[in-house]
Amino acid sequence: MPRMTVDPYYCKGCGLCIAACPKKIIRFSEDINAKGYHYAECFKQEDCIACKMCFMTCPDVAIKIEK
């Protein structure tokens, strides 16, 4: 089953992946990372289609896609 994961170490919470996701399954985490950002997270992995749109648009190369 496809899966997207965000590495909070790199994420700056810009939200570009949230806008890019066609399945609308990415949101800002309630937690903050070491830099103080609400990082992005996938809240519904089962809906992920591994389209890589989030990865494509992520300016911090914080996303990994598995299939």
Partner 1 sequence: MEVIAKRPETLTKTPFTYCPGCLHGVAHRLIAEAIEEAGLINQMAGVAPVGCSVFAYKFFNFDMAQAAHGRAPAVATGMKRARPDMHVFTYQGDGDLAAIGTAEIVHAANRGEKMSVFFVNNAIYGMTGGQMAPTTLPNMKTTTSPYGRNVDDIGYPIRVCELLDTLVAPYYIERVSLLSPADIIKAKKSVSKVIQYNKENRGFTFIEFVSTCPTNWGIDPVKSRDWAKENMLPFFKPGLFRDKGAEEVKS
Among 6, 16, 25, 42, binds partner 1 (CB under 8 A): 16
Smaller CB separation from partner 1, 13 or 25? 13
66 contacts: CB under 8 Å, gap ≥ 6: 2, 3, 4, 5, 50
Q: Single out the segment in contact with partner 1 by CB under 8 A; choices: 2-10, 23-31, 41-49.
A: 2-10
Is residue 46 within the footprint of partner 1 (CB under 8 A)? Answer: no
Residue 8, interface with partner 1 (CB under 8 A)? Answer: no
39, 28 contact by CB (below 8 A): yes
